[in-house]
Structure 1
Amino acid sequence: MTTIDNRTETASSADKLLTVDDLCEYLVVSKDYVYDEVRHGRLHASRIARQLRFRLADVVAFVEANAVTGSDL
């Protein structure tokens, strides 16, 4: 029998879930921007306990998908 207290595995930083506030600080954007991106399906989120959470891997993919080149400026 395994309990959470006996668990020896630690979650890697890629598995860490970010809150909306964490994400806003990380991307230096407003909460409105984050909610808008989630609402339009451009940023993946999970709803846990009625609050949005973001996997770091999904955030990195979002940033890479929105990368611009010199000609896009």
Structure 2
Amino acid sequence: MRLLLLLVVLAIIGLTLVRWLGHGPPAPKVSGASEHSAEPPKVPNRPQDMKAFEADINRFIKDSAAQRAKQESAP
């Protein structure tokens, strides 16, 4: 009798775990503004292009920070 009760309890626990773990992770929430954000500049292959890349990456960082600040202050 104890063995039968143990099997029933293990079956219930097993079914509960399968049901609980069987679901995939929830889809990540993506805000509408981040979907359309600008892409970062491409990394240059030649050393001569580093100055232009530095300027582009600095502009990208400042624009991203301004956009994030605008999003946080909007709601």
- Structure number having the greater helix percentage: 2
- Structure number having the greater strand percentage: 1
Q: TM-score range by the shorter chain?
A: under 0.3
TM (normalized to structure 2)? 0.27
TM (normalized to structure 1)? 0.28
Rg comparison, structure with higher value: 2
